[in-house]
Structure 1
Amino acid sequence: MNETTSRSAKAHWIWPSTADGHADLDSAKHHPVFANFRTTINLAKVPESFTVTVCADARYKLIVNGEVIQTGPAKTCRTIRCYDEIDLSDHLRQGCNIIAVIVLHYPADQPGNYSIASTSTPGLWMSSPILNTDSSWKSVIEPSRQIISENAFYAPLQIMESYTPIDLDDDWTTSINSAADQWRDSYEYSRDNLADILLPESLHPRSIPFMKNEKCEFQDADLLKQTIPAHSAKEVTLNAGELMTGFLRITVARGKGAKLNILESEGYVKYAPENPKSFEDQPVKGDRTDSVNGTLAGFTDRYTVAGFGTKETPEVFEPFWFRTFRYVRLHITTGDQPLDLLSCTYRICEYPLQVSTTVDIDNDLLSDIQNMSLRTLRRCMHETYEDCPFYEQLQYIMDTRSEILYTYSVSADDKLARQAIEAFMDSQQPDGLLNSCSPSNTLNIIPGYSIYFIATLFDHMMYFDDKDLLKRSLPTIKRILNFFNRNCRSDGLIDVIGGIDAPNPRWSFIDWTPEWKQTRGVPPAINQGPLTMESLLAVMGYQYAAQICDHLGESSTAKQYRVQAARLQKAINCLCRNDEGMYTDGPDCSDVSQHCQVFAILTHTISSEEGRSNLSKTLDDTQHYAQCSIAMTYYLFRALEMTGLYDRTTELWKPWEDMLANHLTTSAEDNLSQRSDCHAWGSVALYELPSAILGVRPAEPGYRSAIIDPHPAGMLHARGTVATPLGQISVSWSRESLNNRPIITAKGPEKIKLIIREN
């Protein structure tokens, strides 16, 4: 037991040691490893404040007197490591306190969790006036706690566990006189042996709030408590009631040697392939609650019970990383002892999003979709924005641009958006393009995604107008557009800059639409030459960049970008339109998709009248034209708005209506494979209701003025309040019939000039 008076005043990075006193690094070079750290601290009196600064390579879970206090550090890019400041005072007690930390480290030079960066010097660092990591901390690597790889075609998370606890007779996180006190002293790194980003002076403060941490129970928790006899098997299925992200916590007593297989599932499926051989081997889905005709598909944790638990002080298993689940199935096989299954609960883990926008409409379906969309966004916001929490948990640029807009619409919170912008800038490659997702340990370049980054900066300018951020981002924008400029053909179009996924070094992904399934989301026109969509995206990038440059006073650069955009538009109109005036997917093919018509409208490459005609054709003939999927709905709706066709959105909510009919509680990834049941690019209703139907959006940078321009879309009335960085804007409108114009009333903060457009 260590007295506070004997502690070093300086914290050291530490790691478990070998018998000869060196850092135990061999086991961490090739496989993910879990390391346990423990110390004790005696307090004559609990202080009012006891703040510690904590960091780890790569992740830590801090436990005080058996209670999980915090996990971290926040995800960052490979060149930055953050620290956390945590006040422990509410969790300490008079007398002896056990401070325990579990650290998970992934090999630095091998794929682990794609969004978690590691160095070659794994470790733990904690600093405070009286509690510092040093060699006196006891530590050990748990050889029987291992990461199980999920199916490589589905999920690169590397978070599932197979865990047989260290052979102890007690809980090392709670017992004062524990056998863990016999672990070796920790190894202290010297500064010369540390990775540069881990040096204390190189660490960065956490830029986002800690995740929401709230204990919850499953709907049928009372059915769980039971004793399972020796040499028997039992299966228990628990229902959270909706798709959740959280830390599972299972408590048991007795049952030494019992095996727990813990399946986490998004829902019931009609059929699930046992050994998927490709990305196409997806479960066949229907009613997600059909337990009679369906089966649960998902990923499984495995835990072997140590047997030291009692009903008063139970044995606890909590996976290190949060899990995504709607259903959890426990399959239990006992050995020589009966097992007392005491509880299975979870702690919600998600970004603490404070929603202040409210919208009331006379459309029950849209209201239900709005609720589902908010739930989806919450489940896809953690330390980064995520595509889907069940499979990848990666922050893709296109997905994130949409999710950020949805966040602005409901909360005016930009903290996670700023994190994303910084991460994307850090991922820029020598050729100027950004990695399609960041933070990420793998290279995956989708050329068009760099344009969505410029759009993300434009959005932030309109909502928040942080000129310092824009100025720091401008070199990144210029390098992106220089790439497109260098890859411009002599006829004015953007050349072939990608292909159909691997082995091409760049993936020209556009959208998950059925007609492009065989080419992995890339228009088949890529087989004949350049894509019209990549030229249209470049136009959009030049246009957004020009407005940003104008705002920053770089008028000559803005003029240059407008000239380049106009040159591209001329080439597109000359080379990529058929005899009917429709935009083809490439200059050398006859395929026509809805996507090209949409982006021609968004970039003003076509007149509003012609755009309206082209877009109407794609809406009226869904069999002949590739349609925008869920991922592209935001852009489709903007084109409908710009061409006076917004009323047609009422027919386009059908995919979400089908989701509700199949009892999804979050928006599916797409209506093609439906790989994930939770993907926040489908939360488009969070933008449509406040920004289009109520009609509130910024008209000037920093929301100095706001346009109030409602689009009733078949409704008679709507009202609500919309969050902005400068305060709430209240709007209500009504009309006597569908043929009448709405009568609008609006009120907002004095700092915002309201511009009301009477349609």
Structure 2
Amino acid sequence: MRSFDVVQAEPGVQLPDLEGPWFGLPVESAIEPDSVATSMRFRTQLQMDSCSDAPAVLYVCADSRYRLSVNQELVAVGPAKASGSTWFADAVDVGPHLRPGINTIGIDVVSYTTSALGNSSVPRMGRPGLLVRGSIGETDCSKPAVWKCQPVAGRQFHQGHYTLFLGIQETVDGESSGDAWLQPGFNDSQWQQPVLNEQWPLAFVPRPTLAHRPIPQLTLDPTPVAAISTTSNDAFEWGQLLRGESLQIPAGTDVSVDLDAGVLMTAFLSAAFEGGPGTRIEITAAECYEETPIQSPWLRRKNDRTDHIIGDLYGDADSYTVSGDGTKEQPERYSPYWFRTFRFIRLRIITAETPVRIHPLTLTQTHYPLEISGTFASSSALDRILWDVSLRTLLNCMHETFEDCPYYEQLQYAMDTRSQALFSLYLSTDDRLIRRAIEDFAASGDPMGLTESRAPSVEPQFIPGFSLYWIQMVADHVAHVGDRSFTERFMGRIDAVLRQFDDWVSADGFVISPADDGPVWNFVDWTDAWRSTMGVPDLGPRRANTITTFMYINALRAAASIVQFCGNSAIAREYLSRAQAIADCIGTSTAWDETKRYFRDTDRGRPQSVHAQVWAVISGVVSGAQASDLLRRATADEELAPCSYAAAVDLFDALRQAGVDDCINWKPWEDMLAANLTTWAEDTVSLRSDCHAWGSVPLQHFPRYILGISPAAPGFAAATIDPAPSELEWAKGTVPTPQGPITVHWTRLDDEIRLVTVTAPAGVELRPAEAAADKAEVINAEQRTLTFTLRTNLLNA
């Protein structure tokens, strides 16, 4: 696995000042008709008499995106999405890509307009520009005279029908917007010298505050196409493309071929051609085969995701018109600007008056380079599959931020991100993307109230409960990482969120939810009972919200653990006091239906959902035998709206907390596997996305509950080892912590007794389950080993 060549600052290293003028075009760039973005390109040619191993670092930022190539090789893509008002500059080491002689550096800049949604997670100032700092050899690349620039004609970016949040679909004319500008022999005599910030027609628009990129760049893994799925014409030898050979398509032909990547992935695409002027190439990336959508893109009909007989591919196509300049030695290339998400790719070739020779499509898989050291294995073959698919899904939803679904939105939502961050904490000690997510939400919304539900985003949206998920995300980070100096920065923001909810609490203990209006959406879950209300339960005329009330109680308790860790016991006691007062009130209110013995979703009517029961347990309003009875009945009650994949983390946590592990049901995941998904679907209501990482629950559930490893003190200074009851013969795995790895291996001795062996760094206090027997611990300078036996009660539950 390799990543883009972006330099990460070492601790204590002084990074250069990023202030100073940006580059722009001498005249304002006109936007292409029907496009949501403008484009401009910068190129320079440098003579290198020799090359050394010394880094040659350029610091690069752009409004809104850039792609930097050296000698026709893609080297970096950025900048990372801005956080609040802070934008980031990348440190790009171009040294490894230089060679003696003439070197061509090209930077392709796309700027989203402020008058259209564009890529809604990418901030923009509506002022196309490029920042470059640094030197290569004796050349100061921050000088405008080093560069030539030109607006890009013949390239349109569309909002798309299926990818309506992204604005990444392209229509490109290779004659005016091909890749020839990256070649060393390109004639740029008609290009102009860029102007500096203060010389610009839009100089009155201020530039943002810049910081150094806080996360590593994305991976770049060349990946072969796995198979040919189907084609509109079997007369062509499509297998040549799989063997790395080119294939000629005659003049006057309209033919398509569906390529199968083998699994769903996120990847940059590149197509290459020889000759064939006027040939139109259409590339459609799709997650699966499906029947005609009921309401595209929202409501879909999906069964076997590989069935191309009954189903078809539905997605937005990129269109490229071939210039015909490509040769065998120097093929013409087209690469969509941003990565695509797909399992299948439809390549449609419509030739004009001359034939075209197409080369194999190049896939370069890309995602956040998570350094994975967490492991899990067990006697169950299904567990192995669930783990692997969960990991693939998570990585596909991690790029510059965590993402809800990489195909449709690429937006970072707090509920989704809290789950994904927790999953990654059980896989890796690399928490940089989690820190960035915590900061993104803290910088969003009203500093004196709610965080936004998604951040970064150019379109504000508020889901009140998601601000509470953000607080839980901070608490998870404290438990697993325990960085006080980082956490202290968010105490004021946490308090602001909690005070907003405190203002909504009624005299009888309910959170009274604001109306679903404008940017406010009281979403809880994608469950069929709430289909018509877009995931919002019926809150009655008063809008008394039982589920959110329980969530608020839980958030107050999570916040207490955060501020206690940061040394403020008085505020911790205040939060706990508020939580208990509301719990006492709501527990005896009209939220409880004495006849059905369930909690209602509101203050009247019949109980509606499993969710209210789940949050009653998580919040601690009910516990012990009452919690066990409540959840055992609720999860079997078909009259209650069940929890979807989105709420699976909460559901499984509550079931374990209540001691009813036998109610945990993996059948929904098995059903997805039976339908030939290779990543977890978004929901069963819309069937929209086939890749959504809130379904990657095994990544937390297996290490935390099957192995029983969880933090018992901030930063894993202490760990609880409490394996859940299980019918497995054995299970083993490792959880990475800041202290070092903790490994658990247990095996069944007979029907009821398991032998548990734990190894951990010597400095980590190990706290075995209360029911542990035959405990023995050995400690040396570097490691401690704990063994004990545990009686399982699953079969007798």
Answer whether TM exceeds 0.5 for this pair. yes
Which one of 173, 176, 187 corresponds to residue 179 of structure 1? 187
Q: Distance in 1 between matches of 2:581 and 2:178?
A: 75
Partner deviation per Cα, 1:615-659 (whole Å, 9 max, x = no partner) = 1111222x211111111111111111111111221xx11111011
1:728 is the counterpart of 2:741:
yes
TM-score by length of 1: 0.93
Q: How does 1:508-587 map to 2 (within 5 A)?
A: 508-526=522-540, 529-575=543-589, 576-580=591-595, 581-587=597-603
Amino acid at match of 1:227: Q
Query: Which letter maps to 1:246?
Result: A
TM-score, with structure 2 as normaliser: 0.89
1:228 aligns with 2:249: yes
CA contact under 8 A between 1:220 and 1:239: conserved in structure 2? yes
SS at match of 2:761: coil
Map of 1:261 onto structure 2 = 282
Counterpart check, 1:388 vs 2:405 = yes
Name 1:473's counterpart in structure 2.
490
Q: How far did residue 561 of structure 1 move?
A: 1.1
The yes-or-no answer on 1:59 pairing with 2:65 is yes
Mapped contact 2:289–2:305 kept (Cα < 8 A): yes
Alpha-carbon contact 2:66-2:108 (below 8 Å) kept: yes
Query: 2:793: which partner in 1?
Result: none
1:301-312 superposed matches below 5 A: 301-312=318-329
The 8 Å contact of residues 112 and 118 in structure 2, kept in 1 or not, is answered as: yes
Matched residues in 1 for 2:674 and 2:113: separation?
Answer: 44
1:155-234 matches, within 5 Å, as 155-167=164-176, 171-176=180-185, 178-190=186-198, 198=207, 202-220=209-227, 222-224=239-241, 225-234=246-255
Q: CA 1:195–1:25 in structure 2 vs 1: closer, same or farther (change >3 Å)?
A: farther
Structure-2 change in CA distance of 1:232 and 1:133 (3 Å): farther
Question: What is the letter of the counterpart of residue 87 of structure 2?
Answer: R
* Equivalent pair of 2:152/2:177 in contact (CA under 8 Å): no
Residue 709 (str. 1) matches residue 722 (str. 2)? yes
Letter in 1 for 2:608: V
Residues 1:658 and 2:671 aligned together: yes
Say whether residues 1:641 and 2:641 are aligned partners.
no
Q: 1:37 aligns with which of 31, 36, 42?
A: 42
| 3-state DSSP of counterpart to 2:255 | strand
2:14 matched to which residue of 1? Answer: none
From 744, 754, 763, give the equivalent of 1:751.
763
- The amino acid across from 1:609 in the alignment is A
1:118 aligned onto 2:139: no
CA contact (8 A) 1:447 1:498 kept: no
- Does the Cα contact within 8 Å between 1:405 and 1:687 map onto a contact in 2? yes
Which letter maps to 1:586?
T
| Aligned partner (choices 580, 583, 588) of residue 604 of structure 2 | 588
Q: Give per-residue Cα distances to partners, 1:210-234, cap 9 Å, x unaligned.
A: 1101112202484333101111112
Q: What is the deviation of 1:374?
A: 0.3
Check 1:505–1:115 CA distance in 2 against 1; reply closer, same or farther (3 A cut).
closer
Q: Is the CA contact 1:30–1:110 (under 8 Å) kept in the aligned structure 2?
A: no
Secondary structure of residue in 1 paired with 2:144 = coil
Q: Is the Cα contact below 8 Å between 2:33 and 2:156 reproduced in 1?
A: no
Offset, 1:296:
1.2
> How far apart, CA to CA, are the structure 2 residues paired with 1:140 and 1:103?
10
Partner of 1:5: none
Q: Is the 8 A contact 1:28 1:106 kept in 2?
A: no
Aligned equivalent of 1:363: 380
Query: Relative to structure 1, is the Cα distance of residues 411 and 161 closer, same or farther in structure 2, using a 3 angstrom cutoff?
Result: same
Q: Tell me the residue number matched to 1:625.
A: 640
Q: Could you tell me how far apart the structure 2 residues matched to 1:44 and 1:100 are?
A: 20
Asked whether the 8 Å contact 1:379–1:678 carries over to 2, the reply is yes
Distance in 2 (CA, whole Å) between partners of 1:526 and 1:166 is 61
| Secondary structure in 1 matching 2:359 | strand
Equivalents in 1 of 2:500, 2:551: separation in Å? 13
Where do 1:342-357 residues align within 5 Å? 342-357=359-374
1:362–1:26 distance in 2 versus 1, CA, 3 Å: closer
Deviations 1:587-608 (A, max 9, x none): 1222331111111111110132
For 1:684, the equivalent position in structure 2 comes to 697
| Pair 1:146 & 2:156 matched | yes
Instruction: Sort the Cα spacing of 1:604 and 1:357 in 2 relative to 1 into closer, same or farther, 3 A.
Output: same
d(CA) in 2 for partners of 1:270 and 1:470? 48
SS at match of 1:726: coil
Residue 553 of structure 1: how far off its partner (Å) = 2.2
Q: Counterparts of 2:541 and 2:333 in 1: how far apart (Å)?
A: 55
Cα distance between partner residues in 1 of 2:683 and 2:36: 34
| CA–CA distance in structure 2, aligned partners of residues 10 and 524 of structure 1 | 52
Cα separation, partners in 2 of 1:686 and 1:219, compared to 1, 3 Å = same
Q: Mean Cα displacement is larger for which, 551-560 or 533-542?
A: 551-560
Candidates 15, 24, 29, aligned match of 1:15: 24
Q: Distance in 2 between matches of 1:113 and 1:28?
A: 17
Quote the residue 1:77 is aligned against.
83
1:498 and 1:505 in contact (8 A); partners too: no
**Unaligned residue ranges in structure 1 (runs of 5+):** 1-8
Cα RMSD, aligned residues only: 2.1
Query: How many residue pairs end up in the alignment?
Result: 732
CA 1:658–1:698: 2 relative to 1, 3 Å: same
The C-alpha deviation readout for 1:270-310, integer Å capped at 9, x for no partner, is 2235xx47x64x22101111122211122211111011001
The 1-side partners of 2:448 and 2:33 are apart by 34
Give 1:33 shift: 1.2
Query: Aligned pair 1:672/2:685, yes or no?
Result: yes
- Aligned partner of 1:238 in structure 2 is 259
Could you tell which deviates more after superposition, 415-424 or 710-719?
710-719
Contact 1:170–1:308 at 8 Å: present in 2 too?
Answer: no
TM-fit CA distance, 1:149: 1.8
CA distance in 2, matches of 1:365, 1:256: 51
Alignment of 1:399-414 (within 5 A): 399-414=416-431
Deviation at 1:540, TM superposition (A): 0.9
Counterpart of 2:37, as a letter, is P
Kept after mapping to 2: 8 A contact 1:528/1:589: no
Deviates more, 1:667-676 or 1:520-529: 520-529
Q: 1:252 aligns with which of 247, 269, 273?
A: 273
Indicate the residue corresponding to 1:4 in structure 2.
none
Aligned pairs (5 A) from 1:323-334:
323-334=340-351
